[in-house]
């Protein structure tokens, strides 16, 4: 049975977010940023936010476990907040502590909707490279 998608926002620090990105890479999830990119660009002492928006099941890749596609609000070293996507295992997400009140969660969802994407931010700050760190041609 598919676990229900939670309608909540979870806060994580940079170390936790890096662990989530490593787990996503280990499972071959498609929506994730490279850990090296995150280490280079995230503010070390920041809080980041995850908001599950979609149940992702890859029927053509049955070895890949079910995941929740989360919108994420990341704080980068410049202090700006940018949005991206991260696929997370439901059990992993459920283990993240629930620490935010309802009003703050609504504020985070609103900020996600207005934030520039990782790609837009990367193009603006380093026009010759993309979020993968690869030179643009």
Mean pLDDT of 72-77: 97
Confidence category of residue 117, pLDDT binned at 50, 70, 90: very high
- pLDDT (0 to 100) of residue 127: 59
Instruction: Count Cα atoms within 13 angstroms, Cβ side, for 47.
Output: 7
Residue 128 has what DSSP assignment? T
Residue 16 in this model has a pLDDT that exceeds 90: yes
Rounded Cα gap, residues 28 and 22, in angstroms: 10
Q: Which of 28-42, 70-84, 122-136 has the lowest mean pLDDT?
A: 122-136
Mean pLDDT of 38-58: 91
Element (H, E) at 112: helix 102-114
**In sequence order, what DSSP letters do the residues of 17-64 get, joined into one string?**
HHHHHHHHHHHT-SS---HHHHHHHB-TT-EEEEEEEEEE--TT-TTS
């Amino acid at each position: 049975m598919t676990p229900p998608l939670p309608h909540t926002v979870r806060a994580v620090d940079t170390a936790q977010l890096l662990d989530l990105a490593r787990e996503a890479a280990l499972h071959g999830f498609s929506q994730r940023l490279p850990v090296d990119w995150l280490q280079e660009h995230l503010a070390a002492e920041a809080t980041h936010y995850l908001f599950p928006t979609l149940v992702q099941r890859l029927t053509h890749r049955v070895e890949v476990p079910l995941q929740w596609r989360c919108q994420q609000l990341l704080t980068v070293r410049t202090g700006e907040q940018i949005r991206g996507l991260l696929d997370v295992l439901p059990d992993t997400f459920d283990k993240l502590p629930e620490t935010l009140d309802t009003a703050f969660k609504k504020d985070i969802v609103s900020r996600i909707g207005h934030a520039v994407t990782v790609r837009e931010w990367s193009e603006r700050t380093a026009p010759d490279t993309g979020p993968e760190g690869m030179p643009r041609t």
